[in-house]
Amino acid sequence: MLIVSTITVGLIVGLMTSFLGLGGGILIIPALSIYFRLPYHEAIATSLFTIFMVTTANVIRFQIKGMIIWQVVLLVAVFASIVSYIAGLSATMMPREYLMIIFILFLLFMSVRTYFLKNNRIKNSENTRRARILSAIKIGSLAGAISGLTGVAGGSVITPLLMNSGRIDMNKVVPTSNSIMLFTTFFASFAFLTANYPTTRAWQIGYIHLDIAFFLFLSSFPTALWGTQYQDRLSLKWRKNIVTLFLLIIAIRMIFHLF
């Protein structure tokens, strides 16, 4: 039963990251903490490392298709990497209940934020260096903080902000978001990986359960492959409605788990 549950979670994670542009941690963390009974900090760390591997595979496929806007990725990644590492270190010292409350509030906020997104056209107005840097600081800092403190990859912040920016073709939002998530998950995972934490199982380093992460990663391959091929066929209306509903369902489930 545990193997079936792991495969199911992995399949959904692959679809979420490649098709919707969300970090699969939104699903992995509740699954690991509620159904797999992992301590909450270990669930966060394992989630981050899993999504790092999933997004790495996605980015390779997106890059082959030439769908990533690397100028945006690298600028945002500078700030996202620094903040995600600091947030990850902070999370290792925070009580479980605080981290769960942050996660729930984040889900509720992003569900509302995503639902009211508008289908902006790409802007032709002057894109100054100062404007680009300010936008990168906002997206990178938010994504990094959310990634390190909640265990999601930051895609729930990055994807809506990129969609609403009006500066990126909608077909390239998810590939670009995945590329930024590559940095947030790596540096946040590194904080948990190098923490002075006593391991209780084989295949565990720091807070990260490598065996669970690898199994989730492998089972995500079929849906991630499908998602990278067809993500550009999903309209903004359907994308934001699916994301909003999914975020609300997970938030409600986590509220019941907290209390």
**How confident is the model over 241-255, as pLDDT tens digits?**
888 888 888 888 888
What pLDDT does 13 receive?
A: 81
**How confident is the model over 108-134, as pLDDT tens digits?**
887 887 787 665 544 544 456 777 778
Kind and range of the H or E element at 209?
A: strand 208-209
DSSP summary character for residue 17: I
**How confident is the model over 24-65, as pLDDT tens digits?**
777 888 888 888 889 999 999 999 999 899 889 889 989 998
User: Which of these, 29, 91, 92, 17, lies nearest to 55 by C-alpha position?
Assistant: 17
Domain segments of the chain as ranges: 2-258
Is the model's pLDDT at 83 over the cut of 90? Answer: yes
Could you tell me the pLDDT band of residue 232, with boundaries at 50, 70 and 90? confident
What pLDDT does 122 receive?
A: 47
| CB proximity list for 205: less than 8 A, separation 6 or greater | 193, 199
The DSSP-derived string for 105-140 is HHHHHHHHHHHT---PPPP-S---HHHHHHHHHHHH
Query: CA of 37: how far to CAs of 31, 41, 46, 114, 198, in Å?
Result: 8, 11, 13, 30, 18
